[in-house]
Amino acid sequence: MELYRDGVSRRLARNRWLFVLYLLVLTLIFVASLIKSVACTMPHFEAALLLVERIYLGLAVLAFLLAFRLPWTLTRIQLERYDIALEQQRKNSSINS
């Protein structure tokens, strides 16, 4: 059971980092929109806007690619929980018999 917990903990930690990556992308999109509104009056912000847009686009592609693994990871975690509960139930029923 402890081995199962460690594996699940590592997989969930990776999923938390994926969530943080999504939040970072959203933050950069918000920052880019702020820079864009300022860049209309101050042209020297154009380079900063271009840099922020390239960074959030790259991170968004990375998050998108990493997210393909997410459904299978969550399914595997749930199936492992089910298998452990089923095994525990079998052990309990054999003890009671």
- In DSSP notation, 18-36 reads HHHHHHHHHHHHHHHHHHH
User: What pLDDT does 27 receive?
Assistant: 96
- In DSSP notation, 80-93 reads HHHHHHHHHHHHHH
Taking the C-alpha atoms of residue 17 and residue 32, their distance in angstroms, rounded to an integer, is 22
Mean pLDDT of 21-37: 94
pLDDT above 70 covers what percent of the chain? 93
Confidence check: pLDDT of 85 > 60: yes
Taking the C-alpha atoms of residue 82 and residue 78, their distance in angstroms, rounded to an integer, is 6
- 12 versus 51: which is more confidently predicted? 51
User: What pLDDT does 78 receive?
Assistant: 86
- What band does 2 get if pLDDT is binned at 50, 70 and 90? low
38-55 residues labelled b (16+ CB within 10 A) or e (exposed): ebeeeeebeeebeebbee
Per-residue pLDDT reduced to its tens digit, 55-76: 999 999 999 999 998 888 888 8
Query: pTM score > 0.75 for this model?
Result: no
Taking the C-alpha atoms of residue 37 and residue 28, their distance in angstroms, rounded to an integer, is 14
Taking the C-alpha atoms of residue 33 and residue 35, their distance in angstroms, rounded to an integer, is 5
